Amino acid sequence: MTHAHPELGEPPVLDRGTTRIVALGGLGEIGRNMTVFEHDGRLLIVDCGVLFPEESQPGVDLILPDFDYIRTRLNDIEAIVLTHGHEDHIGAVPYLLRERQDIPIIGSQLTLAFIEGKLKEHRIKAHTRVVAEGQTTQLGPFDLEFVAVNHSIPDALAVAITTPAGRMLITGDFKMDQLPLDGRVTDLNAFARLGDLGVDLFLVDSTNAEVPGFVTSERDIIPVLDSVIGKARGRVIVASFASHVHRVQQIIDVATSHGRKVAFVGRSMVRNMQTARELGYLTIPEGTLISNDEIAIRPDDEAVLICTGSQGEPMAVLSRIANRDHAIQIGDDDTIILASSLIPGNENAVNRVINELTRQGARIVHKGNALVHVSGHAAAGELLYCYNIVKPKNVMPIHGEWRHLSANAALAVKTGIHPDRVILAGDGVVVDLVDGKAHIVGAVPCGYVYVDGSSVGDVTETLLKDRRILGEEGFISVVAAVDLTTCKVIAGPEVHARGFGEDESVFNDVLPLIQTALENALKDGVTSTHQLSQVVRRTTGKWVGDKHRRRPMIVPVVIEG
């Protein structure tokens, strides 16, 4: 297997007749999926998603792919092709369209409806084109064929991309549920047909590559939901992704069978479910849906609330309910269902929400104690099946952390694909396809771009480090005034602390040390207030480290008196 490594240099100029593939996200992480295909000077983008922040990234709302690789070539982009409507595949589209608004967006009906609703909030008018499975189209040097795949959202598509260099098949997110709720199975006939024609590079979803066997069918959840909701004495609050139409349909069906009304809570949930209903992807019996205002006046045992917040997101509805920052208050008879899998990195946030809701008296049902969710990603048995019917010449695992990519690569090798033809790459690694062989030729810079409120890209790793220090270690400011002529400290030093957890009198011992260090520096000819500030920082930092085993942020201010 070919491994990415830091020593990779810049890729060579792309030869005519060669197709280049660069993932700007989605390799080595769950989210931020974005892959750029290039041939004869033209670019095609497949997906453009976001990554959700971890606790080590305080204040960050979203993480985007790094567009620097394509920023100077925006006019070369033929289109953005979206495989499905999940945030980790479409969430960054508005930010790319800020840089060139007329890039065509191609996707299925529901996917485009979701992205258009999102773009409306960003006040962007999109140029969209609806496609469906079985349809083909040509965009510059790229011939595209769209293939139906089953996922945890309707209307998902795989994309076959053919150029003079060869045929590539990118699965998007997919699984092989043989009894899907909407009857739309992954089109294995199309996979086999493309395999017979020859797939030169197979880019395969890796998220569940470590999971043996086949993913449980969505239909197996229904009896469990029926039991949980049927036995609930009070309200039932279901937290799910705002795009998980299939799960919401199941909840509505079960709630209706028990005579309960349903309310959508949360802006994105309301918007997406209204869109899905208008397009016929969601069926709600007449008289079932109630408004948020009606929740308070209905008996608790007649209501099911469907909201956002299954990943413990701070501003999502469920987290706000847990923090008592929402009109909905938890009672002893309430049941909370977390109807989703945990995205890696969100475990602590979700556990905090579960613990707080439990403390308030709710019964919590989640994937760990009941079958209330099944994954939307193919497990190892399904991936092996696909490798055997597609028979690709080269394989590139995508969409997953490194352990998922590696497990997927091992599956490909088990089916007889030579290890040298399995490309294990990270974000920014450049892969060229020519003469039926895919190989790594270099790497391009590909960092994280942080969204913090209205700020995009202004948050740096240094700033995040400062935020972590402030949150974990506290803040100390030291102010002193000096006389450069007499080489004396004439005012201060004064120390003020926040979040340090100690009375400020504890700093009495360090004050003479700071004064002595400043006066010695002045006598040694140091007259720059910046340099004197660094003397204060070092002296204070060493004392705090030695005495208190802490590393707070220290902000020294030295002024000339």
Predicted confidence band of residue 400 (pLDDT cuts 50, 70, 90): very high
Question: Percent of the chain having pLDDT more than 70?
Answer: 89
- Same domain as 240, residue 350: yes
Q: Which of 452, 477, 510 is the last residue of a domain?
A: 452
Q: Residue 185 is part of a domain; what is its CATH number? A: 3.60.15.10
What value does the mean pLDDT take over residues 425-434? Answer: 94
Which secondary-structure segment (H or E) carries 456? Answer: strand 455-456
pLDDT of residue 102: 93
Q: Residue 229 is part of a domain; what is its CATH number? A: 3.40.50.10710
Stated pTM of the model: 0.79
Q: Confirm whether 7 is domain-assigned.
A: no
Q: Which of 324, 339, 365 is the last residue of a domain?
A: 365
* Domain count along the chain: 3
Closest CA to 99 of 121, 127, 78, 68: 68
Q: Which of 128-137, 352-361, 379-388 has the lowest mean pLDDT?
A: 352-361
Torsion over CA of 86, 87, 88 and 91, rounded to 10 degrees?
130
Closest CA to 350 of 309, 389, 378: 309
- Same domain as 122, residue 57: yes
Q: Which of 23-27, 98-102, 483-487 has the lowest mean pLDDT?
A: 483-487
Which tens digits make up the pLDDT trace of 175-220? 999 999 889 999 999 999 999 999 999 999 999 999 999 999 989 9
- Same domain as 128, residue 47: yes
Beta-carbon contacts of 300 under 8 Å, excluding residues fewer than 6 positions away, are: 233, 234, 235, 331, 333, 334
- Same domain as 222, residue 206: no
What value does the mean pLDDT take over residues 437-452? Answer: 86
- Same domain as 311, residue 229: yes
What value does the mean pLDDT take over residues 399-412? Answer: 96
pLDDT of residue 55: 54
Integer Cα distance of 304 and 339 in angstroms: 13
Residue 432's SS3 state is: strand
- Same domain as 264, residue 335: yes
Q: Confirm whether 487 is domain-assigned.
A: yes
Closest CA to 85 of 215, 27, 172: 172
- Same domain as 380, residue 254: no
End-to-end Cα separation, the chain, in angstroms: 66
Q: Is the model more confident about 410 or about 561?
A: 410
pLDDT of residue 4: 46
Residue 373's SS3 state is: coil
Beta-carbon contacts of 450 under 8 Å, excluding residues fewer than 6 positions away, are: 53, 57, 60, 62, 63, 64, 456, 457, 458, 459, 464
Q: Confirm whether 320 is domain-assigned.
A: yes
- Same domain as 519, residue 483: yes
Pairing outcome for strands 449-452 and 236-239: unpaired
- Same domain as 166, residue 63: yes
- Same domain as 325, residue 283: yes
Predicted confidence band of residue 496 (pLDDT cuts 50, 70, 90): confident
Q: Which of 452, 487, 507 is the last residue of a domain?
A: 452
What value does the mean pLDDT take over residues 139-150? Answer: 97
Q: Residue 523 is part of a domain; what is its CATH number? A: 3.10.20.580
The pLDDT mean for the chain works out to: 86
pLDDT of residue 383: 98
- Six-digit token pair at 363? 């019964």
Full residue range of the structural domain in which residue 514 is found: 461-560
- Same domain as 243, residue 94: no
List, edge to edge, every strand of the sheet that includes 455-456: 62-64, 449-452, 455-456
Q: Confirm whether 304 is domain-assigned.
A: yes
Q: Confirm whether 99 is domain-assigned.
A: yes
Question: Percent of the chain having pLDDT more than 90?
Answer: 50
Q: Confirm whether 2 is domain-assigned.
A: no
pLDDT of residue 441: 94
For 109-161, the DSSP string reads HHHHHHHHHHHHHTT---EEEE--TT-EEEETTEEEEEEE-B-SSTT-EEEEE
- Same domain as 396, residue 545: no
Q: Confirm whether 13 is domain-assigned.
A: no
Please answer whether residues 37 and 19 qualify as being in contact, where contact means their C-beta atoms are separated by less than 8 angstroms.
yes
Please answer whether residues 476 and 500 qualify as being in contact, where contact means their C-beta atoms are separated by less than 8 angstroms.
yes
CA 220 to mean position of chain CA atoms: 27
Q: Confirm whether 288 is domain-assigned.
A: yes
- Cα→Cα distances 305→234, 302, 341, 350, Å: 11, 10, 19, 19
Which tens digits make up the pLDDT trace of 18-36? 999 999 999 999 889 999 9
